[in-house]
Structure 1
């Protein structure tokens, strides 16, 4: 019978994964900010109700994200 040799596994720490996820979140926020700056302006004659609807959907989703971040921060304190 052959003996199987294993390595001593080191426990995985959450800090590197958290740091990576944090940087991704910041990159996404920067991208959103740039895209918001490029959106149609209120005085543009091409502005339609579909633009209003889209921006309201964005705001609703961002509100959910803000609430999740608030909840996460309160859980850590």
Structure 2
């Protein structure tokens, strides 16, 4: 079989719809997870509340703000 010719199939064009739909669902799952975790965070009247909690929440807000801006930009909206 030294001279056997290998036959290959022509590649099919890749459509973005399935990948987009999957990525969109992952985003929604992540948002739901974030919402659940925010609901579980320490309440402001808890005596164990420390400045590290404030720092963490401010960091979360800064990162979520960047995500919100990216979503706005992707949707063609500018603040």
Do the two structures share a fold, i.e. TM-score over 0.5?
yes
Cα drift, residue 17 of structure 1: 0.3
Match of 1:32 in 2: 34
TM-score normalised to the size of structure 2?
0.90
Larger Cα-atom Rg: 2
Cα drift, residue 9 of structure 1: 1.6
CA distance in 2, matches of 1:45, 1:38: 16
CA distance in 2, matches of 1:12, 1:46: 53
After superposition, residues 15-54 of structure 1 pair within 5 angstroms as 15-54=17-56
Q: Secondary structure at the match of 2:75?
A: helix
Match of 1:72 in 2: 74
Q: Which has the higher helix share?
A: 1
Q: Over residues 21-67 of structure 1, what are the superposed CA-to-partner deviations in whole Å (9 max), with x where a residue is unaligned?
A: 00000000000000000000001011000000000000000000000
Aligned length: 75
Any unmatched runs of 5+ in structure 1? none
Q: Secondary structure at the match of 1:74?
A: coil
